[in-house]
Structure 1
Amino acid sequence: MYSTKSVGLGFAVFSAITFGGSGPFAKALIGAGFTPEQAAWLRILGAAALLVPLVLTFRGAAGLRAARSSWKPLVLYGLTGIAGCQTLFFIAASRLPVGVALMLEFSGPVLVVAWLKFGQKVAVPRSAALGVGIALIGLATVVEIWSGLQLDAVGLLAGLGAAACQATYFILIDKLTGAADPLVMTAAGSVVGAVLLTLISAPWGIPWHTLVDTIAIGHRHAPGWVLAGWLIVVSTVVAYLAGAAAIQRLSAAIGGAVAYVEVVAASIFALILLGETLSTNQIIGGAIVLVGAFVAQSSVGKVVPPEIPDSDPDPDTPDPRTADLDPARI
């Protein structure tokens, strides 16, 4: 019988691979006339349309109660981890190579460490600071900063915004462990994300005819509905459910580390489907970014909260300086 951690790792790798296909398929739709915001809206609305009936069928009233009791983190999860992360990534991917856009997104742990250090005033391990430094060197290499900014500025900012949303996603999903199962979390987050994007994506202007037309994806062609279907079913519903199931069996730190497989998967998908290749500097810099982000990510679970004075300490209470800080309580 497989252990819980083994199953969790399997879910995490599968989730990363299925997420990795989203960039090329979305980029094809954007090339056919969708805006990045409209492609994200279609993706998230389609996911909500599939997931809500599943929640009602398999979770019923219990699922609704779970969503209601955790509505605040679920709303934030939908706004950042789903709507924000996917929309900003699509904007970045529409202006940059898919692999570079994901490298930027996966610098999220660097922002987590900075938030802990300067926002929460929490002492962070030296390894976390080292990871931040490594990632920043890698980022400078990706953008070839010595020659002036080589990447599209809007794409660069969108990628970094996606990084902030991605970091929030891993923290929130860990916080929701035990409060709502993956199906309820993903459905509720998709509904919130779809509502938000309806307000900003102008879906009434979507070129719906492209979904029945044959559109280009690299040097190949496929019906638009096939690309949209993959984006909704495989790269959203299946990917988010598998990712949530993985983190509930592992932790945000471990799940986030395994998720770096997505960068490799996305680069391979982009190479095969779009013919996108990365420059030598982008490959080297991307590898450095991922190493630094991995080090920072691995350090998050080692951070300890600041000591809280206690006028009458209980000798049976564990010293907080010796306890790991659960990412769910960051």
Structure 2
Amino acid sequence: MPVHTSETIKGSRGKGFGLGLALASAVAFGGSGVAAKPLIEAGLDPLHVVWLRVAGAALVMSPLAVRHRALLRRRPALLAGFGLLAVAGVQACYFAAISRIPVGVALLVEYLAPALVLGWVRFVQRRPVTRAAALGVVLAVGGLACVVEVWSGLGFDALGLLLALGAACCQVGYFVLSDQGSDSGDGAPDPLGVIAYGLLVGAAVLTAVARPWNMDWSVLTGTARMDGTPVAAWLLLGWIVLVATVVAYVTGVLAVRRLSPQVAGVVACLEAVIATVLAWVLLGEHLSLPQIAGGAVVLVGAFIAQSSAPAGNGSEPVAGGGAERELSARGTTA
């Protein structure tokens, strides 16, 4: 019996550490928009901020790309899909959205991704979904209506909302690609390797689109303002690259390896809460009571949708909060 007791304690500690990693990942991801928006308001184009984030993270993660270079031969389609959709597409749309609408609203719109995935499964693939999943979709859409204040003719910039929806659609595209091209057993790709190559692909694509040689580099040597408080621009950029990207991705992968995808997905839902609170405190972006209530409903709906696997599908539920968590869950389950 002492053996079982020690194993139980070890397992509990491992899960506790995993929860800590998942929370750290949610905090890191949630802080990206708060750090990026002052740089955009200081004069940087949203695409340039995205390029700086992805290119910097790709440079830091390049040793992992060298270590897993066999992925270039084995899984080129997956690497291209991750780079184009989960990295370049999601980040470009999200950063462009927060230049026009509040950070919290943009991220809550992005949390429609689990509901959109189920819509793809039901109406495009014509596969049945559970009643709980359908309820999650209804809750997410209803909550979003409160967040964007549809009763007042959309209280936010329509283009900004479309860009945030574009970020959610990019996540859906990667979910579908991952579902169609996933391996099993020992053939499953290493999540950290895919992330490293995804960042490299995303950086290459964004270089052609953003044209960083036209960027106003002098902004990075000055200061940006967070609700009137001056902050060094290089410090904000360092947070975006090292914490909100590298640390966020790595801790997210390690967390899912210690937890079930469902538990990691629940903790990931805190990302939207953290982003909204940080934007409220640091940027002065206050939301009304109906918007806060609607945001809570969106998160509940996203949680129900991601924790309810489509009927007849042997894969694990879609984890809310980003394609990187779906990739981590697939690698761990395999």
TM-score range, shorter chain: 0.7 to 0.9
Q: Structure 1: 5+ residue runs without aligned partners?
A: 306-323
Amino acid at match of 1:120: Q
* Residues 292-324 of structure 1: per-residue CA shift (max 9 Å, x gap): 111111112x5214xxxxxxxxxxxxxxxxxx4
Indicate the RMSD between aligned Cα atoms, in angstroms.
2.3
Counterpart AA for 1:92: A
Contact conserved, 1:19 with 1:239, CA < 8 A, in 2?
yes
Structure-2 residue corresponding to 1:287: 296
Counterpart selection for 2:102 from 91, 97, 112: 97
In 2, Cα distance between equivalents of 1:185 and 1:5: 25
Q: Percent identity?
A: 48
Is the Cα contact below 8 Å between 1:141 and 1:285 reproduced in 2? Answer: yes
Tell me, yes or no, if structure 1 residue 233 matches structure 2 residue 242: yes
Q: Secondary structure at the match of 2:224?
A: strand
- Distance between the aligned counterparts of 1:70 and 1:247, measured in 2? 22
- Residue 286 of structure 2 aligns to a residue whose secondary structure is coil
Q: Which residue of 1 aligns with 2:275?
A: 266
Query: Which position in structure 1 is the counterpart of 2:326?
Result: none
Shifted more, 43-52 versus 80-89: the winner is: 80-89
Using the alignment, how far apart are the partners of 1:17 and 1:42 within structure 2? 20
TM-score calculated relative to the size of structure 2: 0.84
Q: Which residue of 1 aligns with 2:119?
A: 114
Corresponding position: 1:216 with 2:225: yes
Q: Equivalent of 1:303, from 294, 311, 327?
A: 311
Deviation at 1:230, TM superposition (A): 0.7
1:197-212 matches, cutoff 5 A: 197-212=206-221
Residue aligning to 2:38: 28
1:130 aligned partner: 135
Alpha carbons of 1:260 and 1:140: their partners in 2 closer, same or farther (altered >3 Å)? same
1-structure distance, mates of 2:88, 2:30: 17
Query: Shift of the alpha carbon at 1:169?
Result: 5.2
Cα deviations by residue, 1:105-146 (Å, 9 ceiling, x for unpaired): 112111011010011111000111111111111111112212
Judging changes above 3 Å, is the alpha-carbon distance between structure 1 residues 146 and 268 closer, same or farther for their aligned structure 2 residues? closer
Partner secondary structure for residue 138 of structure 2: helix
Matched with 1:65 is 70
Q: Say if 1:187 and 1:279 are closer, same or farther in 2 by CA, change over 3 A.
A: same
Contact 1:131–1:295 (CA<8 Å) still a contact in 2?
yes
Aligned residue for 1:221, secondary structure, equals strand
Q: What is the match of residue 86 of structure 1? A: 91
Task: Give unpaired runs (5+ residues) of structure 2.
Answer: 1-9, 318-329
Report what 1:16 is aligned to. 26
Work out whether residues 109 and 165 of structure 2, in 8 Å CA contact, stay in contact via their aligned partners in 1. yes
Cα separation, 2, equivalents of 1:247 and 1:45 = 25
Q: Secondary structure at the match of 1:229?
A: helix
Residue 41 (str. 1) matches residue 51 (str. 2): yes
Secondary structure of 2:311 counterpart: coil
Q: Distance in 2 between matches of 1:213 and 1:325?
A: 48
Q: Give distance in 2, aligned partners of 1:171 and 1:6.
A: 31
1:102/1:299 Cα in 2 relative to 1: closer, same or farther (>3 Å)? Answer: same
- Pair 11,185 (structure 1): closer, same or farther in 2 beyond 3 Å: farther
Letter in 2 for 1:36: P
Distance 1:22 1:170, change over 3 A: farther
Aligned residue for 2:52, secondary structure, equals helix
Query: Residues 199-252 of structure 1: CA distance to partner in whole angstroms, max 9, x if unpaired?
Result: 211212211011111221222112211111110000001101112223344455
